[in-house]
Amino acid sequence: MSLSSRAEQAIRPAGAGGQIAESGTARACKVRLSGVGKRYGAVTALHSTDLEVREGEFVTLLGPSGSGKTTMLNLIAGMTAPTSGRVSIDGRDVTDVPANKRELGMVFQHYALMPHMTIFENVAFPLRVRRRSRAEIDAEVAKALRLVRLPDLGARKPRELSGGQQQRIAIARCLVYSPSIILMDEPLGALDKKLREELQLELKRLHRELGITVLYVTHDQEEALTMSDRIVLMNGARIEQMGPPEELYFRPRSLFAATFLGDSNILDGTVKSTGTVVEVETAYGTFRSSEIEPGTAGVGDAVQILIRPENFHTQPASAERNDNRVTGQMVNSIAYGGVTKTFVRLSDDKVLVVQELTKAGRMTVEPGTPATLSWNAGDGRILPPAKPAVSAAG
């Protein structure tokens, strides 16, 4: 199926008027997946999955390529039929309802605008197939174009617009018929960094202003961290962990989650004692950590300590105060504008990265200079022993 016909399938209602299931409650459950899974022959694209998305939430499916993000989105959209489980929207079971009767908006990575139509006609399309009056179409298209801040481009053809503008038009076409949910599959993936950041802010603004439920797919962790109310982290066709951005960033429950989101320093060790503070013995000393999921590691278990680069302190005064200290040698220090990353080598060539605000006069370090890094027990996150690998075909 071509991209534009996929888009048409999603935005064209089956019968005149379509059906909009209304839900009045502010944080009602909007989308529910119960045991939803998808197989293609021997390939499991999505293992049996449970997920709830609440009304007005901005939920991001984040994960590496092939982790099942598009599959999950397409199962919700009705573009793909599940092999197992049920999908419901606004409390109604829609598992057997075709895409064009689900009244969802879809935005893809490639704009999927219809090249022969003007911008106005592209945006008007979903209203025309719903047989809205001419006056209503004029008013709603103008409103949608204003919302995406391109009010004057109606007469142009898609090829006369930049990539960023075309994607805004694709978003306008999706907003124009007021779907109650918008599904976006890597919508900014084809744009350069600056445009992407600009449109991220635009999408957040639209989400705030319209109070619409958004399900957003990206493989870009920064994008997920800045935009989402909640992140669903995918790995190997399953949900690895889900929660608000802060929770995924500061309380990852696996090495995969810890390293997929943000920069990380990982120290391998063995649990020496447990309690509110866990003591872990490593090749560089014994360290105290208070960030652990209760009951996930016992004495003698092999664990890892995660320390985010911004949680290391380099000042001698901090070393006195902090719970943990490690010594090494400066490798180098690189200022990225307002932040400086400093690399410190430990005894066995392990290199830790420290991130601090750039300070005048401290931008250069002499390689080989001894360095002491310190951190608090609350900033050392214990990652539990890895679970035995599950078969990918399971």
Q: Which is nearer to Mg ion, 103 or 185 (CB)?
A: 185
- 200 interacts with ligand ADP by CB under 6 A: no
Q: How far is the CB of 70 from Mg ion (least distance, A)?
A: 3
Looking at beta carbons only, is 63 or 245 nearer to ligand ADP? 63
Site residues (vs Mg ion, CB under 5 A): 70
Rank residues 70 and 314 by Cβ distance to Mg ion and give the closer one: 70
Of 70 and 241, the one with the shorter C-beta distance to Mg ion is: 70
Minimum gap (Å) between residue 72 Cβ and ligand ADP? 7
Beta carbons of 104 and 182 less than 8 angstroms apart: yes
* Residues 266-285 close enough to bind ligand ADP by CB under 6 A: none
Rounded CA separation 265/203 (Å): 32
187 lines the binding site for ligand ADP (CB under 6 A)? no
Q: Answer with the entry of ligand ADP, Mg ion, none that 189 interacts with (C-beta below 5 to 8 A by kind).
A: none
**Contact partner, 199, from Mg ion, ligand ADP, none, Cβ < 5-8 Å per class:** none
Interface residue with ligand ADP among 49, 67, 122, 200 (CB under 6 A) is: 67
The footprint of ligand ADP on this chain (CB under 6 A) covers a number of residues equal to: 11
**Buried b vs exposed e over 40-55: b needs ≥16 C-beta within 10 Å?**
eeeebbbbbbebebbb
Rule CB under 6 A: say whether 40 interacts with ligand ADP.
yes
235 binds ligand ADP per the rule CB under 6 A: no
Q: Which of 13, 56, 68, 126 binds ligand ADP (CB under 6 A)?
A: 68
Residue 241 near residue 233, CB atoms below 8 Å: yes
Is residue 346 a contact partner of residue 332, using CB atoms and an 8 Å limit?
Answer: no
Least distance from ligand ADP to the Cβ atom of residue 1, Å: 11
Distance CA 181, CA 82 (A): 20
Q: How many other CB atoms sit within 10 Å of the CB of residue 131?
A: 10
d(CA 378, CA 367): 30
CA distances from 44 to 35, 84, 115, 240, 325 (A): 14, 11, 36, 16, 45
What are phi and psi for residue 81, nearest 5 degrees? -90, 135
Task: Identify whether the C-beta of residue 30 lies closer than 8 Å to the C-beta of residue 87.
Answer: no
342 binds ligand ADP per the rule CB under 6 A: no
Residue 63 binding result from Mg ion, ligand ADP, none, given CB thresholds of 5 to 8 Å by partner type? ligand ADP
Q: What is the CB neighbour count within 10 angstroms for residue 10?
A: 25
Stretch that binds ligand ADP, among 5-13, 58-66, 95-103, 225-233 (CB under 6 A): 58-66
Least CB distance to ligand ADP at residue 188 (A): 15
Q: Applying CB under 6 A, does 45 fall inside the site for ligand ADP?
A: yes
319 three-state secondary structure: helix
Binder of residue 122, out of ligand ADP, Mg ion, none (CB less than 5 to 8 A by kind): none
Residue tagged 């481009």 (tokens):
153
If the CB atoms of residues 13 and 68 are measured against ligand ADP, the closer one turns out to be 68
Among 60, 71, 122, 241, binds ligand ADP (CB under 6 A): 71
Helix (H) or strand (E) holding 197: helix 193-210
CB of 176 to ligand ADP, least distance (A): 26
- The dihedral built from the CA positions of residue 333, 334, 336 and 341, taken in this order, carries a sign that is negative
User: Tokens 């120290």, residue?
Assistant: 267
- State the sign of the Cα–Cα–Cα–Cα dihedral 168, 173, 175, 179: negative
End-to-end distance of the chain based on CA atoms, in angstroms?
29
Out of 69, 130, 196, 313, which residue is the one contacting ligand ADP (CB under 6 A)?
Answer: 69
Task: For ligand ADP, give the closer residue by CB, 217 or 354.
Answer: 217
C-alpha–C-alpha distance, residues 20 and 8, integer Å: 18
Of 56 and 78, which has the nearer Cβ to Mg ion? 78
In the bound state with Mg ion, the residue whose beta carbon lies nearer, of 70 and 333, is: 70
The crossing angle, in degrees rounded to 10, of helices 163-175 and 119-128 is 20
Select 71 or 376, whichever has its Cβ closest to Mg ion. Answer: 71
| Residues at the contact surface with ligand ADP, assessed by CB under 6 A | 40, 43, 45, 63, 65-71
